[in-house]
Structures are given as C-alpha cells and as structure tokens.
Structure 1
Amino acid sequence: MRRGFWFAAGAGAGIYAMNRARRLRESLTVEGLRDRAQALSLGAKMFRDEVAQAQVDKEVELRERLGLAPAAASDRQLSAGSTPAPTPITARRQRGTN
C-alpha cells in the first residue's frame, strides 16, 4: 500500500513538473511575451478606468452629501489649447526656488 501511494505521488509530481515546464517554455516565446505585454496593458487600462469611475462616483456622492451643485462636464475638462493653472509647488519649481 505504501509503495503504491509513493509511486502515485511521484508520478503526479512528475506530471505537474512537466506541465509547469511546458507552460514556462511557451510563455518565454515571442508570442507568449507579446501576450503577457498585451494583458498587462489591458489590465492597466481597466484599472485606470475603474479608478476614474470611482473618482466620479465619490465626487457625486460628496456633492450630494454636502448639498453642492453638480459639476458641469465642461468644468472638469480642459479645452484643447488651455493648460491647467500652476499649483504653488509647480510655480516654485518653474522659478527655480524650493
């Protein structure tokens, strides 16, 4: 009984190791690396979209709680030729002072 158990355990470990090695070999090909890069890019885009949506939801919730008027869409977006007003920190950096 013990020999059969250890034989089955060794065979299972060998099969597992072979499958892991095959997957690793496939992931290190050009196509595998390209797929991983695309997946990372897609994940980053999805994360960015989730954060942006959560930010908008939280802003709406806070405005409702504080009784403020809803922000207009034009207030949140910059026009094509405009740049945002410098913050005190960036203004100091531009002048060269800390």
Structure 2
Amino acid sequence: MFRRTFWFTAGAAAGVWATTKVNRKLKQLTPESLAAQAANKAVDTGHRLKEFALDVRAGMIQREHELGDALGLHAPVDGELPAPRRAAALESPYHPDHPKAAKYAEHRTHSHNRNEDH
C-alpha cells in the first residue's frame, strides 16, 4: 500500500510540474508577450549601440589628441603672421612694376595660340 501511495504522489507531482511548465510556455508565446520580448530586446540593443558609439567617439577624440601632439598642433602659437606674399609677386620680371619689365615685355605680347595662322 505504501508503494502505491508513493507512485501516486510522484505521478501527481510530475503532472502538476508538467502542467505548470506548459502553461508558462504558452503564456510566453502569446502575441502580447512576444511583442514585449521584442521591445525589450530592441531597447537593450539600442543601449548597446549607444555605448558602442560613445566608446568610438571617445577613442576618436583620444586619437586626435595623440596625432595633434605628434604633429605639434597643440604647441603654443606665436603672435606673428607670415610675411605678405604680394612682395614675391612684385619681384617677378614679368610684373609691370619691376625694373626689368620692359626687357620681358615681348614675352607678354607674344601669342601662344596654336590655332593662329603663321
């Protein structure tokens, strides 16, 4: 008699366990539950992507500073501006204000048009 009671109790417990397991799985497979799971995964993925983007941005800023230090871009700048470039243009003998401009005047008037009849 004790043996029958043991097996009856074991069977009842297994039935309750299986029924509970099946009901939980069915609740997980309802459309509302699936939508909630998908939304949770999407939010989690969004957080991971945001963390990744912030890590990439921090790495970019760090690398820019490293490159700036290597190239000397962060060095203190003196207040002087470079010399004007117009002075170099005036030194050309082809410039009309140059003292030897008359000597090179013929070069300015000579046509280099290939389509011109000679």
TM-score relative to the length of structure 1: 0.46
Q: Give the TM-score of the pair, scaled to structure 2.
A: 0.40
